Amino acid sequence: MVNFIQTKWSSKGTIALAISAMLLGSCTNNLDQQAGVPETNVTTEEVADNTKELIGKTVTIRSTPVRKLGPSTFTIADKQFFSAKPILVVNASGKTFTLPADPNTPIQATGPVRNFVIADINRDYNLGLDANLYKEYETQPAIIAQSIALAPKPGELTTNPQLYYGKNLAVTGEVENIRNANSFTLDEDKLFGGQDLLVIRAGTPKGVVNEGEKVAVTGVLRPFVVAELEREYNLKWDLTVQKQLEAEYRNKPVLVATEVYPSAIPQ
């Protein structure tokens, strides 16, 4: 698991993180693809307004999809910015990504910002995009995504886990109940239903999380089966903690984290 190198506040109030995009190789079981860890967190409004400053930089954007254009392209826009212009996302990860059935489920995409020139994109990524579909996006800012993940809320995962089991996810929430160095819960607003989500940090955690801290977690969702988790991730839990977790979460969803970092999105 990677360490933080630098954090700072951008002019928009989001946290910019310059950290490595390497993820734990031991956590790739059943993943559709690895979720990116942000170099710089941005909004669609920032990409549209600050294109010159962001060209060539790897960014992470977290937003709801607006329109599917082709098998490997779609647009996104921030609901909180009603005037925000949709930004084109090109899936250049080499992995198939299916947009969520629920249009309110956000996604997280990480990749460099480029001015979209279809001839260059087709040449560089061999995507075979149809020029007739992208006329309005030519020379406009786009994110060439190297990784994409669904980004549902904790309560959505605990309420309908079957929709997300085995999928790569990027989930934000507030740290609520720290059980030990390897496990904590993400708080779910009870007004919207659902239960808190258990998070297990695979391997040896780097850095600490604090109760009340707002974090983003990338990882894979799976049922809590203690024998499987201990065998696959060598968790070495204290027996008391193990029994408590098993009694409370047996066969319930658990997010096995590959990365935990400060959330760029206000909760």
pLDDT tens-digit profile of 200-252?
998 777 778 899 998 889 999 999 999 899 889 888 888 898 899 999 999 99
Q: Are 17 and 38 in contact (CB under 8 A)?
A: yes
**pTM of the full structure:** 0.74
Instruction: Round to whole Å and give the CA distance between 121 and 132.
Output: 14
Return the bridge partners of 54, or none. Answer: none
Question: Rounded to whole angstroms, how far apart are CA atoms 133 and 249?
Answer: 47
Give residue 137's region: left, alpha or beta (phi > 0; psi -120 to 50): alpha
The pLDDT assigned to 39 comes to: 53
Place of tokens 């720290």: 178
Tokens matching residue 88: 């084109």
DSSP per-residue codes, the chain: -PPEEEEEE-TTSPEEEEE-----GGG-TT-SSPPPPPSSEE-HHHHHHSHHHHBT-EEEEEEEEEEEEETTEEEEE-TT-TTPPPEEEEE-SSS--PPPSSTT--EEEEEEEEE--HHHHHHHH-----GGG-GGGTTSEEEEESEEEE---HHHHHHSGGGTBT-EEEEEEEE----BTTEEEEE--GGG---PEEEEE-SS--S---TT-EEEEEEEEEE--HHHHHHHH-----HHHHHHHHHHHTTSEEEEEEEEEE-SS--
> What DSSP line would sit under 17-41, residue for residue?
EEE-----GGG-TT-SSPPPPPSSE
- Token readout for 145 is 């995504």
Give the mean pLDDT of the chain: 81
- Those residues of the chain that have pLDDT short of 70 are 1-39, 79-84, 189-194, 264-267
Q: What angle do CA 6, 111, 256 make, to 5 degrees?
A: 70
The token pair that represents 62 in the structure block? 């977290």
Give how far Cα 125 sits from Cα of 98, 118, 187, 217, Å. 19, 10, 40, 29
What is the pLDDT, as a whole number, of residue 132?
94
